[in-house]
């Protein structure tokens, strides 16, 4: 779902893309450093929910953005409970969920082209040391496109596995996903090469 843009006229929609990216990084770092207990996780979670409401993002969209994290969070929570404590599990999973939610909020209220333009402008001074901002912008665009594409591949393979009665077989999920992902990457690489992206 990353890369989905919801048009709107909220303060978050009107804020410059560069400012939002800086605030996103600052917020994630701040949450990682200073959120140390379940109560703090709950407080920050309420604040993030308020930001979604202020931006006018429907709750169905919010759930769709965060649903893919459920299994990963469960695995991390079990691991944290086993090696640390339930409270630490809440903090780790909560901060991770908050970080992804903030990133989703930025992508929902910012056009991808605006984000890429902001990154390209910010990296402009690095041309002097051989950095190509346009190439990095292209890399980010591909990453944004590939996240929902990979999610779609996993969903399609899972549906096919369930139809064959193999819903409990990890091999029936991982192997086809890996094969399809590699084929998609090859096709994408060929398309970029055909357009001269690799030319010096």
Hey, what are 77's tokens? 């929570």
**Rounded distance, CA 41 to CA 87, Å?**
10
**Rounded distance, CA 42 to CA 97, Å?**
11
Q: What is the per-residue pLDDT across 29-68, written as a single tens digit (0 to 9) for each? A: 999 999 999 999 999 999 999 999 999 999 998 888 888 7
CA 149-151-155 angle, to 5 degrees, is 115
Q: What is the per-residue pLDDT across 144-156, written as a single tens digit (0 to 9) for each? A: 666 667 777 877 8
pLDDT of residue 198: 56
pLDDT of residue 1: 46
pLDDT of residue 152: 75
pLDDT of residue 192: 66
Residue 136 CB coordination number (10 Å): 16
**Per-residue three-class SS string for the chain:** CCCCCCCCCCHHHHCCHHHHHHHHHHHHHHHHHHCCCHHHHHHHHHHHHHHHHHHCCCHHHHHHHHHHHHHHHHHHHHHHHHHCCHHHHHHHHHHHHHHHHHHHHHHHCCCHHHHHHHHHHHCHHHHHHCCCHHHHHHHHHHHHHHHHHHHHHHHHHHHHHHHCCCCCCCHHHHHHHHHHHHHHHHHHHHHHHHCCCCCC
pLDDT at 77 exceeding the cut of 80: yes
**Rounded distance, CA 99 to CA 160, Å?**
32
pLDDT of residue 175: 82
Mean pLDDT of the chain: 83
Residue 65 CB coordination number (10 Å): 21
**Rounded distance, CA 8 to CA 116, Å?**
19
- Residue 35: exposure state from Cβ atoms within 10 A (0-12, 13-18, ≥19): buried
pLDDT of residue 195: 62
């Amino acid at each position: 779902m990353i890369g989905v843009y919801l048009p709107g006229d909220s303060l978050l929609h009107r804020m410059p893309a560069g400012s939002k990216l800086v605030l996103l990084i600052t917020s994630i770092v701040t949450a990682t450093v200073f959120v140390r207990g379940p109560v703090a996780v709950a407080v920050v979670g309420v604040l993030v929910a308020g930001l979604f409401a202020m931006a006018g993002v429907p709750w169905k969209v919010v759930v769709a953005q965060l649903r893919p994290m459920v299994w990963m969070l469960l695995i991390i929570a079990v691991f944290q409970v086993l090696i640390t404590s339930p409270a630490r599990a809440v903090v780790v999973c909560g901060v991770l969920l908050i970080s992804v939610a903030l990133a989703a909020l930025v992508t929902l209220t910012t056009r991808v082209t605006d984000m890429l333009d902001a990154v390209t402008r910010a990296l402009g001074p690095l041309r002097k040391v051989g950095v190509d901002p346009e190439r990095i912008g292209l890399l980010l665009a591909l990453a944004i496109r590939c996240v929902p594409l990979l999610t779609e591949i996993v969903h399609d393979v899972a549906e096919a596995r369930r139809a064959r009665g193999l819903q409990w077989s990890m091999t029936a999920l991982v192997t086809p996903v890996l094969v399809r992902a590699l084929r998609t990457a090859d096709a994408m690489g060929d398309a970029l090469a055909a357009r001269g992206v690799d030319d010096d």
